[in-house]
Amino acid sequence: MTEFENVRDALKEAIEIADTKGIKTKVGKNEYHPATVEEVQEMLSEHLYNIADLLGMSDLYLDD
């Protein structure tokens, strides 16, 4: 997971993921397949968690 230094960079990359058509994920050395909904959600959630951390709001996703 990429750790961003600021909210702007994290949001920019999350928006790029959300706007991308035909996202592919690596499954082998030189093999890719279309990303599943779950894989895209995982990509976005990592960015959202990092944004929450940068804003001091990790309680939004941490279990009590």
Does residue 1 surpass a pLDDT of 80? no
Give pLDDT tens digits for 2-38.
788 999 999 999 999 889 888 888 888 889 899 899 9
Q: What stretches of the chain adopt beta strand conformation (E)?
A: 24-26, 32-34
| Cα→Cα distances 17→13, 29, 37, 41, 51, Å | 6, 22, 12, 10, 15
| Cα→Cα distances 51→34, 35, 42, 54, Å | 26, 23, 14, 5
**Helix, strand, or coil (residue 46):** helix
Give the pTM. 0.73
Domain ranges of the chain: 7-60
Does residue 64 surpass a pLDDT of 70? no
